[in-house]
Structure 1
Amino acid sequence: MDQVRVAAWASDPIALTGLTNHLKSRPELLVVPRARRAEAAVLVFAVGQVDREAIAALRAASAESPAAIVLVAGHVDPGHLGLLADCHVSVVLPRTALDRLTDSVLAAARGRTTSLRDQVDALAHEGTTAALTPREVDVLRLMAEGWDTAEIAGKLCYSERTVKNVIYAMTNRLNLRNRPHAVAYAVRAGVI
């Protein structure tokens, strides 16, 4: 099996170390150092969001090498699609999807990827659902069924205070007005 040459870039040194170690752990991939980035078939960029620094790095990398780019990001503005395409970005993954990174790198190396628009839309959807913790989803499902605080606490083996804290923290973090608004948010996010 031929290894795919890959290089890594991240917006901070800790993320770069983690990304590089993850890539090195995969036998299908051969990580090349930054000085030899032009030899890579695929470049993996990890950023919180596509900001000026990320855009400058993407432009520099695409000018230096024709390699396909896998962008791992927390948020991508759909308005940046043209820029991403110009910079050889062929895959956009959420930061929470490291389990799909190797397959994405291999697909990018082969030139087999879906449209960037579909990937950015999926990233936006995953970002919405990731905003809710599993505990919050459990509470929301029971709220949607019409259960009150005491019933939810009994069903989930939490105290009533814990259930109230979960609801309060979630509604404040997501700027939701009340419990029905929280349930509607979860429905629109596709988690219940």
Structure 2
Amino acid sequence: MGDPVPVSVVALDPVLEAGTKSTLLTCPDLSLTVPGEEPRVVVMIVDRVGPPELDVLRTTRDASSRPDVVLVASELAPSEALHAIAVGARGLLRRREAEAARLARAVLAAARGDCTLPPDLLDRLLEHSGTRGTSFGDARDGWAAAGLSDRERSVLRMVADGHETNEIAQELCYSPRTVTTVVHDITQRFRLRNRAHAVAYALRAGLL
């Protein structure tokens, strides 16, 4: 086992911040940052996802250590989720669903560079993608022209739900090497940084 992932919490409500920190401390793979320590992941707690919250998310991502952000909101509409992902969120949870195990899973996935979404929200995003090009900016022409195969879509859906390579391989009856190759091919084809970047832009372009 490696060193615990250093995590910090951002919340306007100090009681909510304290409760979230207590929740995170129940996971031995996570540690709360101390003054002067840079977090690898920031858990950001908000009521809604509007321009001010997105500005805070963007500022957090632009810090020198480039921490990944898990956003926990009271409610998450598909449009809000897409904006948050586009700005740099690597995990999305509704506050009522952010119990210890699920929150820890989202934080650890973000630390690996993966993107985690609630399954029902992912389904709504996939349905919402049919209206792309109005609220979320133009779809990426390169993505739209090349498209994704059924296999690539299946793998990216499971990546978006936070599954690891071995879990995806078992569920889809592929070898772990095949899953790794699929993700690598996607990131290379579209010049993306990692799995999280692939999920974010696939959703934004409406290809999932």
Q: TM-score band (shorter)? A: 0.5 to 0.7
**In structure 1, how many angstroms separate the alpha carbons of the residues matched to 2:105 and 2:114?**
11
Q: What is the alpha-carbon distance in structure 2 between the residues aligned to residue 73 and residue 123 of structure 1?
A: 17
2:33 corresponds to 1:32: yes
Distance 1:120 1:10, change over 3 A: farther
Equivalent residue number for residue 90 of structure 2: 90
The answer on whether the counterparts of 1:8 and 1:20 sit within 8 Å (CA) in structure 2 is yes
SS of structure 2 residue aligned to 1:49: coil
Tell me the C-alpha RMSD between the 2 structures: 2.7
SS of the residue aligned with 1:54? helix
Judging by fraction of residues, say which structure has more helix.
1
SS, match of residue 19 in structure 1: helix
Structure having greater relative contact order (Cα 8 Å, sep ≥ 6) = 2
Gaps spanning 5+ residues in structure 2: where?
126-208
The Cα of 1:52 is off from its aligned counterpart by 3.8
8 Å Cα contact 2:42/2:69 also seen in 1? yes
Letter in 2 for 1:30: S
CA distance in 1, matches of 2:10, 2:41: 11
Matched positions, count: 121
Kindly indicate whether the alpha-carbon contact (under 8 Å) linking 1:4 and 1:41 is maintained by their aligned counterparts in 2.
Answer: yes
Letter in 2 for 1:15: L
Identity of aligned residues (%): 31
Taking the aligned partners of 1:119 and 1:69, their CA distance within structure 2 comes to: 20
TM-score (norm 1): 0.54
Alignment of 1:16-95 (within 5 A): 16-33=17-34, 36=36, 39-64=38-63, 65-95=65-95
Please, which runs of 5 or more residues in structure 1 have no aligned partner? 125-192
Change (3 A) 1:119 1:84: farther
Partner of 1:11: 12
Q: Tell me how far 1:73 sits from its aligned partner.
A: 1.1
Q: Give deviations 1:97-149, integer Å, cap 9, x for gaps.
A: 223011111111112335x596744699xxxxxxxxxxxxxxxxxxxxxxxxx
| Shift >6 Å, 4+ stretches | none
Residue 83 of structure 1 deviates from its aligned partner by 3.1
1:109 matches 2:76: no
In 2, Cα distance between equivalents of 1:73 and 1:58: 12
Whole-Å separation in 1 of the counterparts to 2:106 and 2:81: 18
Residue 5 to residue 76, structure 1, CA distance change in 2 (3 Å): same
Q: Which amino acid aligns with 1:91?
A: G
Rg larger in structure: 1
CA contact (8 A) 1:91 1:119 kept: no
